[in-house]
Amino acid sequence: MAIFNKERDNKTMAAENTSGSSNRIVAETKFKGEINSKSDFRIDGEVEGTFQTSGKLVVGRTGVINGTVICENADIEGKVTGTIKISSVLSLKSTAVVEGEVYVDKLSIEPGAVFNVTCTMKGGKNFTNEKQQNANEKPLK
C-alpha cells in the first residue's frame, strides 16, 4: 500500500510542476497580435502587438517587442519599443534597448543599456486604476 501512495504523491507533484511552466517564441519567429498568459514567457523572436502575463517576461538578445507589455517582472536583453507596465522589477541587461513609456515599481539597469523613455516609478499595481482616475478628472481653469 505504501507504493500506491508514493505513486499517487509523484503524480500530484508532476501536476503541480506543470503549473509553473513557461512559454517561448524562438528566434526567427514573428508574431503579430495579442498574447495573454499566466505563465512565464521568453521571447527570442519578434512580437508586434500587446503582450500580457501575470508571470515573468524574458526578452533574449535576439528578442524584439513593438507594442504594449504588461507583466509582473521583466528581464530585457533585446529591444522593446512602446508602453511597458511592470508591477514589480524591470531589469535591463547591458545589451537592452528600451524606447517609449515605462511604468515600473523597481528598476535595475546595467551599464551599456539604452533607456530612452519617459519613466514613472511607483506602485506598479495601481498604474491602470490611477491613469483611468486621472483621465476622469477635469483640468483646473
Q: Tell me, what's the pLDDT at 106?
A: 95
Return phi, psi of residue 135, to 5°. Answer: -70, -30
Over residues 110-122, the pLDDT tens digits come to: 999 999 999 999 8
Residue-wise pLDDT tens digits, 16-31: 334 567 899 999 999 9
Structure confidence by residue, pLDDT tens digits, 32-81: 999 999 999 999 999 999 999 999 999 999 999 999 999 999 999 999 99
**Cα–Cα nearest to 73, from 50, 27, 107, 99:** 107
pLDDT digits (tens, 9 = 90+) for 72-108: 999 999 999 999 999 999 999 999 999 999 999 999 9
pLDDT band at 141 (very low <50, low <70, confident <90, very high): very low
